[in-house]
Amino acid sequence: MTTLSIFNQSQPDAAHTVTTDPQVISDTLASQGVRFERWPTRELPADASQEQILAIYAEEVAALKRECGFLTADVVSLNPDNPQKDAFRQKFLAEHTHSEDEVRFFVRGQGLFYLHFGGQVYALMCQKNDLISVPNGTHHWFDMGPEPEFTCIRLFTNPDGWVASFTGEDIAARLPRYEALAGVAG
């Protein structure tokens, strides 16, 4: 279930707001400039290729490209049997920013976005059907968990794709990780 937990960075062990209501999540994130929407998903073959996924969602991808000026779209997918899953997880666990909006539409699985605004951290457990657009310059990180299983459509204005500028802050290490927020045994 899509869940938003808001933490005070000075008390990272206790979420002070938790909601699963999609409208409350959307409104709360919108107040920080973050776009959150629930989109209907379509049936996909278990072994759907990037091309198939992009073709199935061509209308939505084209609309976002027109609306936001995105130039490219691709699909990222990770499964628990990936031998590099630990390295991939570590790469995204450090707080960073981007010079463009980070857009993800979850067509399968789940992942946890952390958004750092001032003294608060918004932890959004995204699920299948969730679209998130993190504005450029927003301090954030992503936790896919120890057994990642997700497929997302990504959109970019930069043809080089995902380019991060790491902040060097240790805030990500001080907050509960995916295992705690997803109820998964670590």
Total domains, the chain = 1
Query: Which CATH number does the domain housing residue 89 bear?
Result: 2.60.120.10
Does the annotation place 98 within a ligand binding site?
yes
Degrees, nearest 5: CA angle 122-127-133 = 55
Does the annotation place 16 within a ligand binding site?
no
Which residues span the domain enclosing 111?
3-182
Label each residue of 127-166 as H, E or C: ECCEEEEECCCCEEEEECCCCCCEEEEEEECCCCCCCCEE
Does the annotation place 67 within a ligand binding site?
no
**pTM score:** 0.92
Does the annotation place 96 within a ligand binding site?
yes
Q: What is the pLDDT along the chain (186 residues), one digit of tens a residue?
A: 999 999 998 887 776 788 999 999 999 999 999 999 999 878 888 889 999 999 999 999 999 999 999 999 999 999 999 999 999 999 899 999 988 888 999 999 999 999 999 999 999 999 999 999 999 999 999 999 999 999 999 998 876 656 678 888 999 999 999 998 986 433
